[in-house]
Every structure is written in structure tokens, then in C-alpha cells.
Amino acid sequence: MFTILFILQNAGIESAMLENDKLWVVLVVVLVIWVMLAVLIFVVDRQITRIESSVKRFLDRERTAE
């Protein structure tokens, strides 16, 4: 019973947000957050790859110097 009342209340909120175009604002904000997270992951991955390659080159130089 409580679940049905909760769903009905949320349906009212959804229709109110649709009428005032607030739902689209929420969707756009969520989309922007996901895109920014994807960009952040991409940038961090590139930085880690660069660090790994520089460490590998350093270790290769150390081995050849011995």
C-alpha cells in the first residue's frame, strides 16, 4: 500500500517537473556530470600511461647502465 502511494506521489512530481520544463534541466545536468566524469577518466588514464612509460624508460636506462 505504501509503495503505491509513493509511486502516485512521484508521478505528481514528475508531471509537475514536465510542465515546468524542470525535468529537462535535471536530465541535462546529469548528462553534463556523466560527460565530465568520462573526460576526467580519459585524462587521468592518459597521464597514468605517460607516467608508466617514463618509469619504464627510466628502468631500462638503469638496467643498461649496470
Predicted confidence at residue 6, as pLDDT, reads 58
More confident site: 2 or 49 = 49
Range of the domain at 54: 2-65
Is the whole model's pTM more than 0.75, yes or no?
Answer: no
In the chain, the number of structural domains is 1
Say how far apart CA 51 and CA 38 lie, in whole Å.
20
Separation CA 64–CA 58 (nearest Å): 10
52 pLDDT higher than 60: yes
At 13, is the pLDDT very low, low, confident or very high (cuts 50, 70, 90)?
A: low
pLDDT attached to residue 35: 97
Query: What Rg value do the Cα atoms of the chain yield, rounded?
Result: 25
Provide the strand spans (E) within the chain.
none
